[in-house]
């Protein structure tokens, strides 16, 4: 009895020990893959499996306690489904872990462009940069440039390309803009105006444009005023959006054009060789004294030719001098007439009609023409007069073409008009001495009460003796 019960006890004890050992070995054991059981691997990439992990109550089991084998057929050079399997022996037990591996093309095609942004002009929105060029390469499909689609919106161009496996590549090329040009605030009319005393001054105002040249309605504040009952210089200042422009207005007493000792005499001031850079000053000075003159014009200073319009609009006579003012116009009658007609076409463009009067370069008595063609001036004069044109020389020479000083020009003119018969005064609006002295000359002549006239085809002529 005792033997049997001892045996049972020993047996129970042994079973408990075995159970204890089994529990000690396998209790709390977990065998798991590291990472997901099913994964995607990029085509042509290096594939390294993350492996597995054995834990016992969350503590990693030493590698000494198990052995394992791996089988894997993964080939990242070919798209498809593969598997990696681990066979793990832990004591007497074998665990099998399997990971499904998909080799996939999950790389989007790459678009490259010749420019990274498209520059546009702020105002015109015109494209300034090179034309956009692009190509697209896919890791699996190769060159997919043909498949690129181009879409435009306000911000730029969006290039999109989808490869055969549905991967989408995009590239945004944004628009950039040049800097916004500054606003422009300008005077209407001249910056220097002359107003006759007692007349009404009407302000031509200003124009405000944004940097792109679009007229803007902005608030303009004006300071200063003109008292036309009092001679003097007045200043008007206009301000809009921090921009300021100023106009000078001179109130003057106009010449009365009457006078005892000089009554009956008419002075024809003539200005040759312009329009040029001084012509506007000449016009302002003439305006200041209310004097009208005659301009024998040229096309020598191209950017000023449009001043012919102003000469005409201010009541002066505009007449032909020469388009080129080159002596070789005297090589033949035709050469002269061609040059003459070109100038008269300019005059027509700015005044609405051709002029019937002219002045020979060098005057009708010039001898320079001799070295170009014998008798040419005579031939020109007879042809032109037969066609109804009239030419004018002069009987008062300011001397400015020969380089006279200001005081000499003054005395030549002021003394010259005392003794002239027709009083056609030769001056040049391209000579600074003349332009600088003109105010003094006009002050003197107007204060003496001379009358001034402009030349037309019926005016009294002064003709020198034709020398060739």
Residue closer to Zn ion, measured from CB, 240 or 384: 384
Cis peptide before 228 (omega within 30 of 0): no
Residue 440: CB minimum distance to Zn ion, A? 24
Q: Which of 138, 346, 428, 429 is catalytic?
A: 428
Nearer to Zn ion, 272 or 339 (CB): 272
Q: How far is the CB of 450 from Zn ion (least distance, A)?
A: 25
Residues in contact with Zn ion by CB under 5 A are: 272-273, 361
Least Cβ distance, residue 116 to Zn ion (angstroms): 60
For Zn ion, the closer of residues 108 and 400 by Cβ is: 400
In terms of CB distance, is 352 or 403 closer to Zn ion?
403
Q: Shortest distance, CB of residue 204 to Zn ion, whole angstroms?
A: 34
- Minimum Å gap between C-beta 367 and Zn ion is 15
CB of 361 to Zn ion, least distance (A): 5
For residue 389, give both structure tokens.
Answer: 């044109």
Query: Which listed residue (105, 138, 163, 272) is catalytic?
Result: 272
**Structure tokens belonging to residue 18:** 């075995």
272 is an active site residue: yes
Closer to Zn ion at the Cβ: 159 or 305? 305
Q: Which is nearer to Zn ion, 159 or 318 (CB)?
A: 318
Just list the catalytic residues. 272, 428
């Amino acid at each position: 009895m005792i033997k049997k019960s001892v045996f049972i006890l020993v047996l129970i004890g042994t079973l408990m020990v075995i159970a204890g050992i089994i529990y000690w070995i396998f209790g709390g054991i977990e065998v798991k893959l590291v990472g997901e059981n099913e994964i995607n691997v990029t085509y042509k990439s290096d594939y390294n499996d993350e492996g597995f992990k054995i834990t016992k109550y969350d503590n990693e089991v030493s590698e000494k306690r198990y052995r394992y084998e791996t089988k894997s057929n993964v080939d990242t050079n070919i798209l498809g489904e593969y598997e990696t399997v681990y066979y793990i022996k832990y004591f007497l037990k074998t665990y099998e872990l399997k990971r499904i591996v998909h080799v996939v093309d999950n790389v989007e095609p790459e678009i490259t462009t010749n420019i990274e942004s498209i520059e546009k002009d702020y105002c015109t929105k015109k494209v300034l940069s090179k034309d956009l060029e692009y190509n697209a390469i896919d890791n699996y499909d190769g060159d997919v440039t043909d498949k690129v689609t181009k879409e435009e919106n306000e911000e730029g161009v969006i290039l999109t390309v989808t490869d055969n496996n549905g991967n989408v590549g995009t590239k945004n090329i944004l628009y950039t803009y040049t800097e916004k040009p500054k606003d422009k605030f300008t005077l209407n009319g001249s910056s220097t105006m002359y107003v006759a005393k007692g007349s009404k001054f009407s302000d031509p105002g200003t124009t405000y444009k944004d940097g792109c040249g679009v007229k803007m309605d902005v608030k303009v504040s004006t300071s200063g005023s003109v008292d036309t009952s009092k001679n003097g210089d007045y200043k008007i200042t206009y301000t809009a959006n921090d921009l300021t422009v100023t106009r000078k207005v001179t109130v003057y007493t106009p010449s009365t054009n009457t006078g005892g000792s000089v009554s009956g005499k008419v002075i024809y001031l003539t200005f040759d060789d312009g329009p040029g850079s001084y012509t506007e000053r000449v016009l302002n000075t003439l305006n200041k004294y209310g004097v009208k003159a005659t301009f024998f014009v040229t096309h020598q200073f191209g950017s000023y030719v449009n001043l012919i319009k102003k000469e005409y609009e201010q009541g002066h006579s505009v007449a032909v001098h020469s388009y080129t003012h080159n002596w070789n116009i005297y090589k033949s009658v035709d050469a002269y007439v061609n040059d003459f007609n070109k100038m008269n076409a300019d005059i027509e463009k700015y005044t609405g009609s051709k002029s019937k009067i002219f002045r020979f370069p060098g005057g009708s008595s010039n001898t320079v023409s001799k070295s170009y063609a014998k008798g040419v001036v005579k031939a020109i004069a007879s042809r032109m007069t037969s066609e109804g044109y009239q030419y004018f020389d002069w009987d008062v020479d300011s001397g400015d073409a020969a380089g006279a000083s200001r005081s000499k020009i003054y005395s030549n003119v002021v003394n010259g008009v005392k003794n002239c018969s027709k009083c056609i005064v030769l001056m040049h609006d391209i000579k600074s001495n003349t332009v600088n002295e003109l105010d003094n000359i006009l002050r003197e002549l107007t204060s003496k009460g001379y009358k001034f006239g402009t030349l037309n085809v019926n005016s009294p002529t002064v003709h020198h003796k034709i020398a060739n």
